[in-house]
């Protein structure tokens, strides 16, 4: 009888173990997502989280990953590097996710990427754009250390943001002078340096470069300098609320350049139009994506987002990056032999797929490795809608130029 009881106990324990293993195997596959869900950058984080959620629902409704559900585990970085580091630590050590995506602001993303690199967990960045994020030397590695480098990026680096603008500026605007404004983070500083190089290449005189602290309330002392120098182009690198304030105060001072140009970031967000009001009219911006591009599923994603979150919350390239990142995650998980960081890294290395954001294939050029290479485009706020205007072969609207801003602002 004792032997039977002992044997029964062993069988029961064994069954419990097997059920536990089976449950674990059949449970959801958790992937970390680092985003600013509160703080000054929350509008961007909200758009990206909404887009991840849409993709997650679609993927799971279509059968998930090899019969298992995909679950994104979100961590709020609040737009601060130290919080981003702690968030990455939590996702890796506590939530035990084998891979992380997201990453909005450049300063937070680079801080978090250093943690991912330390723990050898793949981090697939979808937005953070400062160049060094995908440069191994920034992590004390050599460029040929790809097998030791765990950071990947879908979006282009900030040094390439203005590449699409070059044709528009050179063919349409043909300016002789420019003033550059940028917020003082690494993203703003490096973006300003890259645009100054573009101006040098095009023979445009940079009359001045002004840096400001994010959250500045009064830009008028800086803008009065613009009025005095009277440049043909005012080029601005700013997050959404700063971008809106820059344009509202430019309107108040009745600045009259040939054109105002934004460097993506805040200038393509619906919140820019809402907060800048009439001052947003005819403002041009570089962009990484537009729903009218001939990319399979791009318009469908845009329409689905608007249907779910309202016409006042149209997604721009930030949302498309996140939505695409979710589908890269799906592709990686489907191809990986198991869900360990090493296996997922090997699958990331072989990524080659088309997404609503464009093709995704991690390559090596210059100082960078694991970097996706993409085109950039030009958009303009026309009749309160963000229209694709360049290149002309892909445009969904004619560009407005020359522009009488005084007339636009008076209406």
**Residue of higher predicted confidence among 9 and 112:** 112
Mean pLDDT on 159-171: 92
Q: Could you tell me the residue ranges of all domains in the chain?
A: 28-156+295-372, 160-287+377-410
The dihedrals phi and psi of 61, each to the nearest 5 degrees, come to: -65, -25
Query: At 264, is the pLDDT very low, low, confident or very high (cuts 50, 70, 90)?
Result: confident
Q: What is the pLDDT of residue 379?
A: 97
Q: At what angle do helices 106-119 and 81-89 cross, to 10 degrees?
A: 30
Residue 7 predicted with pLDDT over 50? no
Our CA angle for 56, 152, 390, nearest 5°, is 80
The dihedrals phi and psi of 396, each to the nearest 5 degrees, come to: -110, 10
Q: What is the pLDDT of residue 22?
A: 33
Per-residue pLDDT tens over the stretch 79-111? 999 999 999 999 999 999 999 999 999 999 999
Dist CA 164 CA 378 (whole Å): 6
Question: Which CATH fold topology does 160-287+377-410 show?
Answer: Rossmann fold (3.40.50)
Query: At 10, is the pLDDT very low, low, confident or very high (cuts 50, 70, 90)?
Result: very low
The Cβ of residue 394 has, within 10 Å, a number of other Cβ atoms equal to 14
Q: How far is CA 46 from CA 2, 111, 195, 196, in A?
A: 61, 21, 29, 32
Q: What is the pLDDT of residue 156?
A: 95
Sign of CA dihedral 138, 142, 147, 152: positive
Dist CA 247 CA 238 (whole Å): 11
> Facing residues of 211 across strands?
182
End-to-end distance of the chain based on CA atoms, in angstroms?
Answer: 95
Dist CA 196 CA 203 (whole Å): 10
Intrachain domains 28-156+295-372 and 160-287+377-410 with the same fold = yes
pLDDT > 90 in the chain, percent: 86
Per-residue pLDDT tens over the stretch 343-395? 999 999 999 999 999 999 999 999 999 999 999 999 999 999 999 999 999 99
Query: At 26, is the pLDDT very low, low, confident or very high (cuts 50, 70, 90)?
Result: low
The CATH number given to 28-156+295-372 is 3.40.50.2300
The Cβ of residue 359 has, within 10 Å, a number of other Cβ atoms equal to 15
Residue 20 predicted with pLDDT over 50? no
Mean pLDDT on 119-123: 98
Dist CA 161 CA 355 (whole Å): 19
Query: 3-state secondary structure string, 198-250?
Result: HHHHHCCEEEEEEEECCCCCCCHHHHHHHHHHCCCEEEEECCHHHHHHHHHHH
Per-residue pLDDT tens over the stretch 166-212? 999 999 999 999 999 999 988 899 999 999 999 999 999 999 999 99
Residue 17 predicted with pLDDT over 80? no
């Amino acid at each position: 009888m004792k032997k039977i009881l002992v044997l029964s106990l062993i069988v029961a324990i064994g069954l419990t173990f097997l059920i536990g293993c089976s449950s674990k195997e059949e449970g959801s596959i958790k992937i970390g997502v680092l985003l600013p869900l509160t703080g000054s950058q929350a509008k961007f984080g909200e758009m990206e989280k909404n887009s991840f959620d849409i993709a997650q629902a679609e993927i799971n409704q279509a059968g998930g990953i090899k019969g298992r559900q995909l679950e994104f585990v979100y961590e709020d970085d609040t737009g601060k590097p130290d919080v981003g580091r702690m968030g990455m630590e939590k996702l890796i050590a506590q939530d035990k996710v084998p891979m992380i995506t997201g990453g909005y602001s450049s300063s937070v993303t680079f801080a978090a990427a250093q943690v991912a690199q330390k723990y050898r967990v793949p981090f697939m960045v979808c937005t953070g754009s400062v160049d060094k994020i995908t440069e191994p030397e920034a992590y004390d590695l050599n460029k040929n250390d790809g097998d030791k480098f765990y950071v990947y990026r879908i979006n282009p680096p900030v040094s390439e943001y203005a590449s699409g603008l070059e044709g528009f500026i050179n063919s349409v605007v043909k300016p002789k002078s420019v003033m550059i404004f940028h917020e003082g983070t690494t993203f703003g500083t490096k973006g300003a340096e890259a645009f100054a190089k573009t101006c040098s290449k095009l023979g445009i005189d940079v009359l001045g470069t002004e840096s400001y602290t994010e959250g500045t309330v009064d830009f008028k002392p800086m803008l009065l300098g613009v009025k005095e120098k009277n440049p043909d182009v005012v080029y601005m690198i700013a997050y959404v609320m700063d971008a809106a304030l820059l344009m509202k105060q430019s309107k108040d001072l009745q600045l009259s350049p040939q054109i105002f140009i934004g460097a993506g970031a805040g200038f393509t967000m619906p919140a820019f139009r809402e907060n800048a009001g009439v001052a947003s009219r005819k403002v041009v911006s570089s962009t990484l994506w537009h729903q009218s591009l001939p990319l399979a599923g791009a318009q469908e994603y845009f329409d689905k987002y608007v249907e779910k979150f309202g016409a006042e919350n149209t997604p721009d390239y930030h949302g498309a990056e996140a939505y695409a990142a979710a589908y890269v995650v799906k592709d990686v998980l489907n191809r990986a032999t198991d869900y360990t960081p090493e296996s997922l890294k090997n699958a990331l290395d072989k990524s080659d797929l088309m997404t609503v954001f464009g093709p995704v294939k991690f390559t090596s050029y210059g100082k960078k490795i694991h970097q996706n290479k993409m085109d950039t485009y030009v958009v303009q706020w026309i009749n309160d809608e963000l229209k694709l205007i360049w290149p002309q072969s892909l445009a969904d609207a004619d560009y407005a130029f020359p522009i009488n801003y005084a007339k636009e602002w008076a209406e």
